[in-house]
Amino acid sequence: MSSPETVSLNIDGKDVTVPKGTTIYNAAKSVGIDIPVLCHLPGLEPVAVCRICAVDVGARVYAAACLRQAEPGMKVKTNTEPVVQARKTLLELLMADHPVPCEKHKELGSCELELLAEKEGVAASKNRFAPPPAPRKLDHSAANIAVNHNACILCDRCIRACTNVKQNFVIGRNGKGYVAQIGFDNDMPMGQSSCVSCGECMVSCPTGALTNVGFEAHLAGEKVDIEWLSKLPIFQGISAAFLQRNEGAVVKRPFKKGEIICREGEFGNTAFYLLEGKVDIFISSPVQRATKKDTRSFFGIVRKMANRLTQAGRDTEDPERMKYIPIDATVDLHLGNPTAQLGPGDLFGEMSALSFYPRSATVRASEDCVLLEMLRPVLQILQKNPAFKKEMDLKYKDRALANQLRSMPIFGSLTPEFIDELRNKVELVKYDPGTVIFSEGDPADALYIVRIGFVKVLKLFPGGELTLAYLHRGTYFGEMGLMGEMVRTATCTALDHVEVVRIKAVDFNLMLEKFPQVRAEFEKEIRNRQEQTKAITQIGQTSDVTMRDFLDQGLMKAQSLLLLDLERCTRCDECVRACADAHDGITRLVRDGLRFDRFLVATACRSCTDPLCMVGCPVGSIRRRNSLEIIIEDWCVGCGLCAEQCPYGNINLHPFDTREDDPDHPGMKKAQVRNKATVCDLCTEHEEPSCVYACPHDAAHRVNAQEFFTRHYVGTPKTAAR
């Protein structure tokens, strides 16, 4: 007898009773019968496009086991000769469209289609079907995901992963017949689409159609036994099914002493968990703008005079110059000696794995060690795992919090005792991308310190929103509300996977009470921020010029544009050469771009109100100083992310000569060429940018776009708005 809630059926002679609505596939699985599938993945909504799971249910046609729900009295045969034959034919057809072996299979031997074909005895060499008449495309436009449409079997797993799991709605299908393929944003190259590079599609892809760029270097380690894995303390409580599904997304990797685990600047998408042994984590010493200061020799004097003429060296020390470089690990590195050691239980590469940021530091095994390398899904589930979270929080509070607090000059005078006390009171909070941490006008209840990710600070204006800052690891926010109006003065949003340390208002006030020096520092800092905010918001309010071009070209967001008056410009290239002269022979200005009216908007940093370039810098070296200009500090690791992020092509990577530790001869240095990002710094050490200064024809101008064009078109500066 079967109740209305359950259904009884027979699969390959076995009687099965399952809840109503269960698919044949799941029903078969429950009695240990494995129906092969390709387009179906547990957790994804079944669509039954590949038909590999075809089973005989006694009807006119075979049914797709993954989709068809079990019906009472159904007699399912999964392994009869005709079914097997049909499956083989299906596989043959799919294989005809699939290069054998595909990249993934070649590297990892994990192409599901090819594995299944092997298992079913379908040899590619004996395929009866012709390959498609024209090969399909390769798409290498994305930084970390490679698309090979040839290897795609149109299983739609990626589409469902993108749409249903991640809700990004980027991937869809294009075309019909032979030209049918998956498409990003209606057939854009992936790198130009709105793809956020989350990697979900890549994880879900059964074949080598979506692969991690450079994946062959990773996850090539020892496959881990799920059982062993689930016995590890940090994996306790995580379902074996999940681990099974993500088999291959976590590997065990032993390293010998001295081996490099990852290098700064490389793109990576994995996080490492140190099981045993110790590793050194460091970044190459920041590239100094080295100038010899020998003023005694003749040439020294000449150089000194030339320096005076060029007014070089006027660059005053940045008052808020950072002492610590934030990196993607549980420690921060000191600017003077950027090296640290990690031990068992430490996790690094979280940001790379979560948000595909480039590696922020080089990690070298300081003794023989074993690491677990994991992709994002594993890391995410780990982070949700209370056991792991507890351990990580503890670790962080133990070591990193003190470190981090001390790394910030503002907390310099805190005593260790107080930090100890604070340790138990703070909480670690995680935010998913796009989450609003707090909104303008909310009551202020805590101070936040960024541990992982980027936080966008913005203010709302009648004309739209204006980004005040992007906060990276090691910075704090929320103090203005706490110390002033008791309401939030700006909205803070998590830009990606963000983890913050939350210090409650009570504790914060206690701290201020106990340490007047900290209070003074905060007050000073608040004044600075208010000034900066005022300056930026003034810019945001000055204009109501609403020209389409103006908006289209993003000029609205530009605080400082390099305009070349094309009626005057003789195209003599002096500006470019002046820029190169001012920056070690490398131009940070390209005399090409779009025109606006009679001006060429030259390709040079615009000091956007919304500086996208700052998002994602793994070492926080690209930032604003106290004023408009965006600078890239010396410790840039050359990952090129900012250059990718800048929508206007204003950041470029150039090779620089550096001296780095020689791995072959410890303690020695060797000359090496490293890429560093360069961006227009507005020649801050001078009163005027060199390009403008050197323009012989009065054609180059550095202007605030809105102010300039308002004056240009309206005729009078809009002082009333100020």
Partner 1 sequence: MAIVRTTKALAKRIDLHYFKRHHPLRSLKSGLSWGAAILAVLWVCGTTRRSSVVFMNGPVSTRHQLFGVSCEKCHEPWGALQTLTRGDEHPSVSDRSCSACHEGPPHHWQTPPEGARPGSKLSGDPACIHCHQEHRGHTALAALADRTCLECHRSLDKNTPSGYKLQNVRTEGKQVDSFLSGHPEFARIASRSGDTARVSLNHSVHLRKGLAGLPQGRAQLACEDCHQPDGARAYMRPVDYETHCAACHPINLNDDRFPAKMLPLPHDEPAVVSRFLQTSFAALVASNPEQITVEKKVRRKTEQIPILGDKELKADAFVQEQRKWLEAQRDAAEKAVLGPKSQTCQLCHVVTQPVEAAASEQKDEAASGEGKEAAAAEEHQKKAPGLAKVEPTAIPARWFVHSRFAHEPHRMLQCVACHTEVDASEKTSDVLLPGVETCRECHRPEPNHARADCVECHVFHDKLTSTHLNGRNTVSEVLKEYFGPASSGAK
Partner 2 sequence: MIVDSTHTRWIILSVAILVVGLITYVPYHATTPGGPGGGTFQGLIYGFVGTAMMVFAGLLGARKRVRIWRLGRAQEWVRAHIWLGLISFPIILFHAGMSFGRGSLTSVLMWLFAIVILSGILGLVIQHVLPRMLLDRVPRETVYEQVPRVIDQLRQEADTLIESVSGVIDHPEQPAFAEASSSPGRRAHDLRTRATALAVPVEGSDELKRFYLIEVRPFFHPEGIPEGELMGAKTSSARFGRIRLLLPRDLHDTLRDLETLCEERRELALQQKLHHWLHGWLLVHIPIAYALLLLSVIHALMSLFY
Q: How far apart are CA 202 and CA 351, in angstroms?
A: 18
- Residue 300 touches partner 1, criterion: CB under 8 A: no
- Residue 176 touches partner 2, criterion: CB under 8 A: no
- Provide, rounded to whole angstroms, the least separation between the CB of residue 648 and partner 1: 5
Q: How far apart are CA 346 and CA 220, in angstroms?
A: 21
How many Cα atoms occupy the beta-carbon half-sphere of 319 within 13 Å? 7
Binding mask 547-586 for partner 1 (x = CB under 8 A): ------x-------------------x--xx--x----xx
Binding mask 338-377 for partner 2 (x = CB under 8 A): ----------------------------------------
- Residue 344 touches partner 1, criterion: CB under 8 A: no
Q: Which does 567 bind (CB under 5 to 8 A by kind): partner 2, partner 1, none?
A: partner 2
Binding mask 471-500 for partner 1 (x = CB under 8 A): ------------------------------
Q: How far apart are CA 447 and CA 429, in angstroms?
A: 12
Q: How far apart are CA 214 and CA 118, in angstroms?
A: 26
Binding residues for partner 2, rule CB under 8 A, total 56
Q: Which does 72 bind (CB under 5 to 8 A by kind): partner 2, partner 1, none?
A: none
- Residue 603 touches partner 1, criterion: CB under 8 A: yes
Q: How far apart are CA 87 and CA 97, in angstroms?
A: 16
Binding mask 247-286 for partner 2 (x = CB under 8 A): ----------------------------------------
100, 566, 612, 631: which one binds partner 2 (CB under 8 A): 566
DSSP assignment of 645-666 equals H-TTS--EEEEEEEEEE-SSST
Binding residues for partner 1, rule CB under 8 A, total 21
- Provide, rounded to whole angstroms, the least separation between the CB of residue 76 and partner 2: 40
79, 89, 192, 291: which one binds partner 2 (CB under 8 A): 192
Q: Which does 663 bind (CB under 5 to 8 A by kind): partner 1, partner 2, none?
A: none
Give 197 or 553: the residue with its C-beta nearer to partner 1: 553
The structure tokens listed for 556 are 């609205």
Cα 398 to the center of its chain, rounded Å: 27
270, 475, 560, 587: which one binds partner 1 (CB under 8 A): 587
- Provide, rounded to whole angstroms, the least separation between the CB of residue 652 and partner 1: 6
- Residue 301 touches partner 2, criterion: CB under 8 A: no
Binding mask 673-702 for partner 2 (x = CB under 8 A): --x----------x-x-x--xxxxxx----
- Residue 650 touches partner 1, criterion: CB under 8 A: yes
DSSP assignment of 100-154 equals SS-HHHHHHS--HHHHHHHHHT--GGG--SPPPSS---EE--SSSEEEEGGG---
Q: How far apart are CA 80 and CA 56, in angstroms?
A: 8
The secondary structure of 535-558, three-state, reads HHHHHHHCCCCCCHHHHHCCHHHE
Q: How far apart are CA 596 and CA 561, in angstroms?
A: 11
**Beta strand residue intervals within 401-533, DSSP E:** 427-431, 436-438, 446-452, 455-461, 464-471, 476-477, 491-494, 498-504
- Provide, rounded to whole angstroms, the least separation between the CB of residue 142 and partner 2: 9
Question: What sign does the CA torsion over 551, 556, 562, 568 have?
Answer: positive
Q: Which does 442 bind (CB under 5 to 8 A by kind): partner 2, partner 1, none?
A: none
- Provide, rounded to whole angstroms, the least separation between the CB of residue 696 and partner 1: 15
Q: Name 631's bridge partners.
A: 623
**Beta strand residue intervals within 560-668, DSSP E:** 561-565, 595-596, 599-601, 622-624, 630-632, 652-661
Q: How far apart are CA 231 and CA 256, in angstroms?
A: 25
- Residue 598 touches partner 2, criterion: CB under 8 A: yes
Decide: 348 and 272 in contact? Cβ < 8 Å.
yes
Q: How far apart are CA 643 and CA 652, in angstroms?
A: 6
Map the footprint of partner 2 across residues 575-594, applying CB under 8 A: 577-578, 581-582, 590-592
Decide: 243 and 235 in contact? Cβ < 8 Å.
yes
Phi-psi group of 566: left, alpha or beta (phi > 0 → left; psi -120 to 50 → alpha; rest → beta): alpha
- Provide, rounded to whole angstroms, the least separation between the CB of residue 403 and partner 1: 39
Q: Which stretch binds partner 2 (CB under 8 A): 65-73, 186-194, 393-401, 623-631?
A: 186-194
Q: Name 375's bridge partners.
A: none
- Residues near 652 by beta carbon (within 8 Å), at least 6 away in sequence: 588, 643, 677, 678
590, 659, 685, 686: which one binds partner 1 (CB under 8 A): 590
Map the footprint of partner 2 across residues 120-159, applying CB under 8 A: 133-141, 143
Chain residues in the site for partner 1 (CB under 8 A): 553, 573, 576-577, 580, 585-587, 590, 592-594, 601, 603, 646-650, 652, 654
Chain residues in the site for partner 2 (CB under 8 A): 133-141, 143, 178-179, 189, 191-192, 306, 309-311, 566-574, 577-578, 581-582, 590-592, 595, 598, 638, 640, 643-644, 651-655, 675, 686, 688, 690, 693-698
